[in-house]
Structure 1
Amino acid sequence: MIVSVCVVAYNEEKVLGNLLNDIKAQDYEHSKIEVVLIDSMSTDHTKDIMRDFQQQTSDDFKKIQVLENLKKKQASGWNVAIRNFSGDVMIRVDAHASIPPEFVRKNVEILESGEMVSGGPRPNMIDESTPWKETLLLAEQSMFGSSMASYRRSQKKQYVKSLFHGAYRREVLEKVNGFDEQLGRTEDNEFHYRIRQAGYQICYSPEIISYQHARSTLPGMLKQKYGNGYWVALTLKACPGCLAIYHFVPFAFIGGIIVTSVLAACHHSLLAKMMWGAYSCLAVIMSLMAVKGKKKYWQELLLPFLFFLLHVSYGIGSLVGFLKLPFWKYKKCER
């Protein structure tokens, strides 16, 4: 089975080299691996790193391609990969990721067992261990700080609605026909929704593990959460079926803050006291669960506050998205 490992990158000179080393370290036969590297018009040395990798390791792999994503968007970059890969299988790997040596082989084993799409958990990692970054990582990894979706942390093999770093047989990509380039952040959800609608199942295996570099600053995490919430709201116009109730919990939280605050200003504070009491208790409980068995730092005392900031950032993003929704000119793609 010929496997095309595809990477889309924009200004990732700091981490791309490590990922390329991970690809070189794969224990699957390299003569059956094609590497497709797509640069989204980077302004740093990302493309130079790709070119150097192509020149230095071209004899080690079946084929290495370096392509351009002129539209710059993540979704359009993956469409460039879909149009140009030559293998039987395409594996998507984010540039800000790390893959262990058995990553490709484990995907091939699942696909050769009869599955059409495979993948596994993608825990976060940090590039430098400091007490603050470790605390941010705990906030991101917690179910309370990210999501309860089964493809994030389940330890059993199962069929899921979506996943990270998926491996797709060519037949699936030819039938489903690419990513919706009008979407941002939620393009994966919409793409996997169409895969399921086409009759294919998405197989999650806890043995297929990969890693993602977590945002190393609080502003970076908040910006990410805001963008996630914003695009979740807009995606209701494009593909409501690819979203779940939990996607809108932070928006409901923002709504609760607004409603209870108005009521409290009108001397009806009972609901506000109940909501903040319940949220505070839950935030403390989830913080204790997050630090259980971990090395303790005083910064971890800030976890309840961090959870609050992440939820508010996501919720405000959704609020802004809902306000823009009636004016967003989404065109249904012809595929």
Structure 2
Amino acid sequence: MHLATPGRRDAPVPPDDAGVSFVMPVLNEERYLRRAVASTLAQEVPGPVELVLALGPSTDASRAIAREIAAADARVVLVDNPAADIPVGLNLAIRASRYPTIVRVDAHSELVPGYTRRALATLARTRAANVGGVMRADGRSPFQRAVARAYNSRVGLGGGAYHGGTEEGEAESAYLGVFRRTVLEEVGAFDESIRRGEDWELNLRIRRAGYRVWFDPTLSVVYWPRESWPRLVRQFRATGAWRGELVRRYGRRNSLRFFAPPVLVVAAVASVVVGVLQATGVVRGRRSGLVHAPVTAYAALVGAVALGPGGGRRWRDRAWTAAVLPSMHVPWGAGFLWAIARGARDTVDTSRLDGRNTPLP
């Protein structure tokens, strides 16, 4: 059944056996690369497939692993991405690829069996230009599992459809994405001036061009979050900064949920300042205590999430969850406010720049 919306543009539907190109930027991913590649090449789709790896200047064994994989499988193509930026690497991989459907894969992720076949069916059925599904965060260490629980919580990342939505339909953006090449070429692929949030900006241009971006909850991808506290904080500060930059550029087109973390940071700073003034006797009166209400409410919300069914099974898990949530929200909000004031400029996600990790079992 064709689900196109009247008055909207339909993306072309190539023949079933026309082929699929998977594209994956890689930087310091020795712990995850083999599994990410294996889950990608295991996808069963009609027609030929290829996987293009855009290799950044890794300081771990990622490049050696990629060369080993490419030598063993002719479907794997390597391109250099000396700039290391994700959108640059994606564009390099797309330009080096051949087939009419582009599937973005993250080296920190694993495609579940049947993902690509179902995505192709959804693209054909809806005539969308891009389709995405649900990010299923997972973890191995207690810390990484706590981050995964936060990712999968509506409180953790603000309730976007791809963090647990269940209703199929048109969407603002898509996690990773399965694209029609002709539409990518028409709208100009990824904006290389945007280092984070490049997917949201690309999907905005796709929608502006009249095409549909589609969310299909039957699609899912396993995502492995950052493994340490410093990496998590650096990642979310950079993500928040680039969201602030996108707000500077596109204003109201950004969802209101993106403003919750910066509001939290402003409320926390106000609470601390007033608290100091109260302690020193400069400020008195019951009304001044109202400034603490937002932070108190936030602390209660974090506690409710940690103690609820999504907080983990043991008390240690719940404590990790309670600690991780503000470790995501506060850096994100601080980065956002900094970028609103000054722009993201050359902000990079430094959590990706250090390698040398112990391989996973």
Matched, 1:144 2:164: no
Matched, 1:21 2:38: yes
Q: Which residue in 2 is equivalent to 1:36?
A: 52
Q: Which residue in 2 is equivalent to 1:124?
A: 137
Tell me the amino acid that sits aligned with residue 110 of structure 1: T
Q: Within 5 A, what are the aligned runs for 1:252-331?
A: 252-264=263-275, 265=277, 266-267=283-284, 269-291=288-310, 294-325=312-343, 328=345
Identity over aligned pairs, percent: 24
Answer whether contact 1:40 1:69 (CA < 8 A) is retained: yes
User: Cα–Cα, structure 1 residues 73 and 287, in superposed 2: closer, same or farther, change >3 Å?
Assistant: same
Q: Within 5 A, what are the aligned runs for 1:91-110?
A: 91-110=103-122
CA–CA separation in structure 2 for the residues paired with 1:21 and 1:241? 40
Higher relative contact order (CA 8 A, sep 6+): 2
Offset at residue 91 of structure 1 (A): 0.5
User: Cα–Cα, structure 1 residues 23 and 328, in superposed 2: closer, same or farther, change >3 Å?
Assistant: closer
**Contiguous gaps of at least 5 residues in structure 1:** 330-335
Matched, 1:170 2:186: no
- Counting matched residue pairs gives 320
CA–CA separation in structure 2 for the residues paired with 1:241 and 1:33? 39
Offset at residue 4 of structure 1 (A): 0.3
CA–CA separation in structure 2 for the residues paired with 1:25 and 1:296? 36
Deviations 1:31-54 (A, max 9, x none): 521221111232333223222222
Matched, 1:199 2:210: yes
User: Cα–Cα, structure 1 residues 50 and 306, in superposed 2: closer, same or farther, change >3 Å?
Assistant: closer
For the aligned residues, what is the CA RMSD? 2.1
Tell me the amino acid that sits aligned with residue 286 of structure 1: V
Give the secondary structure class of the aligned counterpart of 1:123: strand
Give the secondary structure class of the aligned counterpart of 1:94: coil
CA–CA separation in structure 2 for the residues paired with 1:80 and 1:328? 22
CA–CA separation in structure 2 for the residues paired with 1:106 and 1:17? 23
Deviations 1:39-98 (A, max 9, x none): 12323332232222222122xx4xx32111132211111111222221010010011111
CA–CA separation in structure 1 for the residues paired with 2:51 and 2:37? 10
Give the secondary structure class of the aligned counterpart of 1:167: strand
Offset at residue 281 of structure 1 (A): 2.1
Q: Which residue in 2 is equivalent to 1:49?
A: 65
CA–CA separation in structure 2 for the residues paired with 1:197 and 1:93? 24
Matched, 1:115 2:111: no
CA–CA separation in structure 2 for the residues paired with 1:227 and 1:25? 33
CA–CA separation in structure 2 for the residues paired with 1:290 and 1:321? 35
The more displaced of 188-197 and 262-271 is: 262-271
Answer whether contact 2:176 2:199 (CA < 8 A) is retained: no
Give the secondary structure class of the aligned counterpart of 2:247: helix
The TM-score with structure 1 as length reference comes to 0.88
Answer whether contact 1:131 1:297 (CA < 8 A) is retained: no
